[in-house]
Amino acid sequence: MKHFPIFLDVEGRDIAVSGGDEAALAKLRLLAKSDARLTVYSAAPHADIRNLAASGELALVPRAIKAADLAGKVLVYAANEDADEDERVVTLARTAGVLVNHVDNLDTSDFITPAVVDRDPVVVAIGTEGAAPVLARTIKAELEESLSPALGPLARVAKGFRHLAKSLPFGRKRRTFWSDYYSRVGPRAYDKGGEAALAGTLEHLLAEHVNAGPDIGTVTFVGSGPGDPELLTLKARRALHDADVVIHDRLVTAGILDLARREALIVNVGKQGFAPSTPQAEINALLVRHASAGRQVVRLKSGDATVFGRLDEEVDACAAAGVSCSVIPGITAASAAAASIGRSLTRRRCNSSVRLITGHDVEGYAEHDWRALARPGEVTAIYMGKKSARFLQGRLMMHGAAPDTPVTIVENATRGDQRVIATELAYLSEDIGEADLTGPALVLYGLAPRDAEAIARPKREIVL
Ligand code: SAH
């Protein structure tokens, strides 16, 4: 982020605009919405600027800007549409130490003016650091449509009510009160009685919330999917947004954690580098402690919480402590990996079942029904199979699996750094070793990527 967004208090402060034509006018239309004092410097101002001056919206100085004019100015716009004159203004501003915007010239500007969606006092500023003005306009149009015009009055009235709302304890209680007002009760009252109806509505609503019983905490187990935030379910998204506490595993990506509220407590209980992960008993205790204190806890697990996620132990701990909990399913790594290579996990007349197995369990390399797995046509999704690749390969071949059975390894499925390695059982451990995998990887035994046939040894890594 080269440009850091802030909201500047310009009430009663001076802003200078150098220029009198379209570029100046475009900025003035935006600036006129603020409470700043505007002065335009132009020897030949546009008629609209003269009109704004006549109606007292701005002061007009009918000449070019001078060094002395910059004293006390908080911002300056160089909007002359004349390269030499604008450069002169930029130099004057720099000398005077006033922040300058050189219109349509990112490199010589100290600040840029965002696209604005105005529901005063709610203001949304959109910036693309000059990379995509068209995109900024599209986002603005979408926001203009989705943010009700009532938002301004709702927020205005609420502002004067904030001190009264302090009779509710800080945190969830107060937040629920405000979200009830903004999303449900307020808009309805505004539709019926306009701005005048809002104060009374707020009083009623506050009394209701003050008299409500204590908060009851819950734990929601949420499958965060394989990593791409767009693969979260809507329910998962909502739960994350509502959470007071988010307790997550190592494989949950930063893009997903970003969807939690800024004030939420985020606890990482996964392994960090070579440090050990938090013991299960401690995780259980953490869930119970936060929920018992009345907080909404989201326990975020990668993929689907019901697949190799030790879900039952945590649910049992909640049940034993009388904490209510629920589970929101997510997309498991096997589904994500299969989607990435364009293959089904089950196929008509070929394999009517699919196994999800783990490469190792608490006892070490995990034993399975190898004879069944080795049968032609079988498909198995192997989780945590990187380290156990040699063992898996040996066991399967020993039980009669064909050495040329297709195997596909999908590393970082659905993420920007996804890699797909297509190989055969006979080369599995060698190829996993060579691939030097650093991210989570799923081994799809019995499946080749749809377009892998063309790829011959030794080059089996393919980009999909
Ligand atoms: N509950 C998770 C699995 C947790 S076990 C789920 O349903 O997906 C962790 C293993 O899942 C990893 O070792 C890896 O084998 C697999 N895995 C998780 N995320 C993955 C991803 N984005 N790409 C490939 N494999 C992944």
* pLDDT tens digits, one per residue of 198-208: 999 999 999 99
Residues 371 and 399 in one domain: yes
pTM, 2 dp: 0.74
Residue at 463 is within a domain? no
Instruction: Take residue 312 and report the two structure tokens written for it.
Output: 């039952």
Tally of structural domains, the chain:
4
Residues 360 and 429 in one domain: yes
Nearest to 403 by CA among 438, 376, 383, 385: 376
End position of a domain, from candidates 331, 350, 371 = 331
CB 383 within 8 A of CB 442: yes
Residues 309 and 416 in one domain: no
Q: Does the pLDDT of residue 404 top 70, yes or no?
A: yes
Give the binding-site residues of ligand 1, using a 6 Å CB cut-off. 226-227, 251, 301-304, 307-309, 332-333, 337, 383-384, 410, 412-415, 440-442
Dihedral angle of Cα 343, 345, 350, 352, to the nearest 10 degrees: -160
Residues 341 and 322 in one domain: no
Assign 191 to helix, strand or coil.
helix
Residues 397 and 348 in one domain: yes
Nearest to 457 by CA among 432, 424, 425, 429: 424
Mutate-to-test residue for ligand 1 from 442, 443, 447, 464, highest number of ligand atoms within 8 A of CB? 442
pLDDT confidence band for 181 (50 / 70 / 90): very high
Residue of the CA atom closest to atom 6 of ligand 1: 303
Residues 324 and 279 in one domain: yes
Alpha-carbon distances of 204 from 164, 177, 190, 197, rounded to whole Å: 12, 11, 14, 11
Bridge partner residues of 379 (DSSP):
354
User: Which residues touch 182 (CB under 8 Å, ≥6 apart)?
Assistant: 151, 154, 158
Residues 364 and 378 in one domain: yes
Q: If you measure from the C-alpha of residue 410 to the centroid of ligand 1, how many angstroms do you get, rounded to a whole number?
A: 10
Residue type, 171: G
Residue at 408 is within a domain? yes
In tens, the pLDDT along 246-291 reads: 999 999 999 999 999 888 999 999 865 556 778 999 999 999 999 9
Residues 428 and 338 in one domain: yes
Predicted local distance difference test score (pLDDT) of residue 463: 46
The residue segments making up the domain with residue 56 are 14-113
CA dist 166 and 210 (Å) reads 10
Residues 108 and 179 in one domain: no
Q: Does the pLDDT of residue 232 top 50, yes or no?
A: yes
Residues 251 and 273 in one domain: yes
Residues 204 and 286 in one domain: no
Predicted local distance difference test score (pLDDT) of residue 5: 93
* Residue position matching structure tokens 């035994």: 445
Q: Does the pLDDT of residue 87 top 90, yes or no?
A: yes
Nearest-atom index, ligand 1, CA of 418 = 23
